[in-house]
């Protein structure tokens, strides 16, 4: 699976759908992703410009656009990820720390 935003969002959405199926016993009827695009000030390359304050500024009168994407339910992939994590925990693998702790 390619490492790109679309696949990351698809996995995240599929994981939520899996949890709803597993916990609430409600089958997934389909997944949709809504992308809300804002009218940012662009740089010379046509990409949103990052300003000295570290932020991306929106134009004075932005026109938000929404685009809907039908996403594939990646149930098998989510089950494989969860199974792999389960086996890791059962094997006693150390859990990775969120902090960079030095010995």
Per-residue pLDDT of 23-72, as tens digits, reads 999 999 999 999 877 787 878 888 888 899 988 887 777 677 889 999 99
| CA dihedral for 12, 18, 21, 27, sign (positive or negative) | positive
Residue 103: the pLDDT is 43
CA distance 31 to 78: 14
- Percent of the chain past pLDDT 90, that is, above it, reads 47
pLDDT in the model for residue 39: 80
Instruction: Look up residue 40 and give its DSSP letter.
Output: B
Rounded Cα distance between 62 and 49, Å, is: 15
pTM assigned to the model: 0.66
Average model confidence (pLDDT) across the chain: 85
When pLDDT is averaged across residues 79-100 and rounded to a whole number, the result is 78
State what percent of residues in the chain have pLDDT above 70.
87
């Amino acid at each position: 699976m390619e490492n790109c935003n679309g696949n990351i969002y698809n996995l995240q959405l599929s994981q939520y759908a899996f949890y709803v199926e597993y916990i609430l016993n409600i089958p997934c009827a389909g997944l949709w992703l809504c992308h809300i695009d804002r009218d940012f000030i662009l740089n010379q390359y046509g990409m949103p410009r990052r300003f000295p304050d570290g932020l991306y500024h929106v134009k004075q009168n932005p026109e938000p656009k929404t685009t809907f994407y039908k996403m594939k339910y990646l149930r098998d992939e989510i089950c494989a990820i969860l199974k792999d994590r389960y086996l890791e925990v059962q094997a006693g693998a150390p859990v990775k720390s969120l902090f960079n702790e030095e010995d």
